[in-house]
Homo-oligomer: A and B are copies of this chain.
Amino acid sequence: MRPEIVLFGDSITEQSFRSGGWGAALADTYSRKADVKVRGYGGYNTRWALFLMQHLFPLDSKKPPAAATIFFGANDAAILGRTSERQHVPVEEYKENLRKIVLHMKKCSPTILIVLITPPPVDEDGRNKYARSLYGEDAREEPERMNEVTGVYAKKCIELAEEIGLRSINLWSKLQETEGWQKKFLSDGLHLTPEGNAVVHQEVVRVFREAWFSAEEMPYDFPHHSDIDEKNPEKAFQQRCA
């Protein structure tokens, strides 16, 4: 009965049900109105995500999702020749992969509301500290992700959204508007703190609302308990379950 919202992305989506996570908060915002399904794959780039499309979004689905967030790029933007180079995807391919993901989803669910989210900014100092906490002196000095490079991917993501008429969230820009974003919003230079998660949650709720997919305007799936007449409970259910 309830519409479904799919969150498709990398680790920032996979971890979105940890304490303070944006996915859990979204599920709470749409409580009794829509179901939130997490499809987050830590470490994945858009090239690998493409292998999942026919499985996650089968074209013969009886109940395709009503809305989705597509949130990739943090791994695609890993830099060639550095520690995470196996995840690297060239920026033009990133954009075309995103396009394929979108087109597949639209084939699966023609009226789906899709919101593209850019990768968050990178705090290179935070990444280095994180690498040293893992590898000590062996950690390379050169960051495996750079904020400026990730910014190029973010730009491509927004460019695609504009080209094909999708809503989008420029998280890369948005987070950097706040002084001290590096530590306030990012826990290891890349993943989100509870404060960073809160921004993603607010932004997704805002964009969904602007697209007329607002929790406030959606009906509860069954009567509110105060609308149930305790002497005659079936009445409330007959009206709402007919």
Contact = CB atoms under 8 A, between A and B. Distances in A.
B27 A38 contact: yes
Contact of A225 (B35, B48, B224): B48
Contact of A233 (B14, B37, B47): B47
Most chain B beta-carbon contacts within 10 A, residue among A14, A27, A55, A62: A27
A213 to B, nearest CB: 18
Contacts of A20: 19
Contacts of A86: 230
Interface of A: 1, 14-15, 17-21, 24-25, 27-28, 31-32, 35, 37-38, 40-44, 47-48, 51-52, 55, 62, 75, 86-87, 194, 222, 224-226, 228, 230, 233-234, 237, 241
Contacts of A241: 51, 55
A28 B226 CA distance: 32
